[in-house]
Amino acid sequence: MNNSRKSRKPISAESIALLAERGKNVSRFFTKKGRMVAPRIREEGSNQNVFADLGLPHPERELLRAQLTLQIYELIKQRDITQAEAAKLLGIKQPHVSLLMRNRAGSFSVERLMDFLTALGQDVESRVRPARERHGAISLIA
């Protein structure tokens, strides 16, 4: 019997949580009784970028934004300052700091996130070099 059904990539619990945070419908990952379907182990062929695994547009940019947001979160936590104090430092409103602290960069661009890092006393460097493959990559070295 020929099974012509396309196989889907497994999805992790973290990926499901990310989809839910982005307001996507995640009901297909739950049973009718509301229990979560057992998360699948990531496929060996995964490229280690959850955004690419989910098929989102511009996965490298999304990963970079998540990494920059994590750096901002860690700096605010290290300084042990309130969100209101962080908002003053960053020049944004407290609710936006709250979003950043929950790893939701929202509409902040990579450039704006880098500005936040400099406001928190960090040097941010960009380096351009020939790509190893046909298409270049974006990465963060913290």
Asked if residue 76 has pLDDT above 80, the reply is yes
- For a pLDDT cut of 70, what percent of the chain falls above it? 74
86, 76 contact by CB (below 8 A) = yes
The total number of structural domains in the chain stands at: 2
One domain, residues 45 and 68: no
121, 78 contact by CB (below 8 A) = no
> Quick check: is 110 in a domain?
yes
Give 36's strand partners. Answer: 30
How many Cβ atoms are within 10 Å of 62's Cβ, its own excluded? 20
pLDDT of residue 3: 47
Q: What is the pLDDT of residues 26-56, one digit of tens each?
A: 666 666 656 656 545 445 555 678 888 888 8
One domain, residues 34 and 64: no
> Quick check: is 65 in a domain?
yes
Domain that holds residue 23: 13-53
Query: What's the DSSP call for residue 28?
Result: G
One domain, residues 70 and 109: yes
> Quick check: is 97 in a domain?
yes
Torsion, CA 82, CA 112, CA 139, CA 60, rounded to 10: 110
One domain, residues 77 and 38: no
Q: What is the pLDDT of residues 99-114, one digit of tens each?
A: 888 888 778 999 999 9
CATH number of the domain at 99, please.
1.10.260.40
One domain, residues 115 and 74: yes
Q: How far apart are CA 132 and CA 35, in angstroms?
A: 44
Rg (CA), the chain: 18
Whether pTM exceeds 0.85: no
**Tokens 């929950």 belong to residue:** 102
Give the least confident one: 68-77, 95-104, 124-133: 124-133
